[in-house]
Amino acid sequence: MAEQPPQSESRLRKYSSILLNLGLLIIMFFAVTAFQSRNLLPTDRQPAPALQAATLQGRTYDLEATPARPVLIYFFAPWCNYCAASSGNLVRLRRWRRESDLEIVAVALDWQDFEEVSAYADRHDLNMPVVLGDTQVARNWQVYAFPTYYVLDSQHRVVRRDLGYSTQAGLWWRSRAVD
């Protein structure tokens, strides 16, 4: 008859295996995230590209004319399910962070007409400026998937970036203590 290992040794192997698997999942998550964001603008504090376009409210949004404060720019497409899922998180972030501390701007890309963007903004209660972007804006900001986020410091230099769904905590984390 084979000898059984002591129970504490068996538990140690089990927990070691769980920790190893968890560590591998975390490494894979960060590797996939880095791979996905490799073509976005670099986060080396270079000045952000220009962003000047009409808003849903009929005004012109000009990033250069905004006050010196951090900015989170959320690029979305009205047909994008991930954008729809993360829009509520963006709206709640607006409630968490005062406008004087963080400007949040939503930029619509890959849209068919004004009504489509307007309906999306109404459906998701977007409580921030919604800019009507075009293919040139997408090119300048290197947006190739939705949603894409950029966080700019108070001098409007790119300091953080990401793409895909983001939780409310994830948005808060990316936009924290930027100056």
Domain boundaries, the chain: 7-36, 52-175
Evaluate if residue 1 carries a pLDDT over 60. no
Predicted confidence (pLDDT) per residue in 122-169, tens digit: 999 999 999 999 999 999 999 999 999 999 999 999 999 989 898 888
Residues 6+ apart with CB under 8 A from 44: 158
| Helix 168-175 and helix 81-96, axial crossing angle in degrees, nearest 10 | 60
CB of 47 within 8 A of CB of 152? Answer: no
52-175: which CATH number, 3.40.30.10, 3.10.20.30, 3.30.70.100, 3.40.50.1980? 3.40.30.10
Q: For the residues 1-26, what does the mean pLDDT come to?
A: 77
pTM of the prediction? 0.81
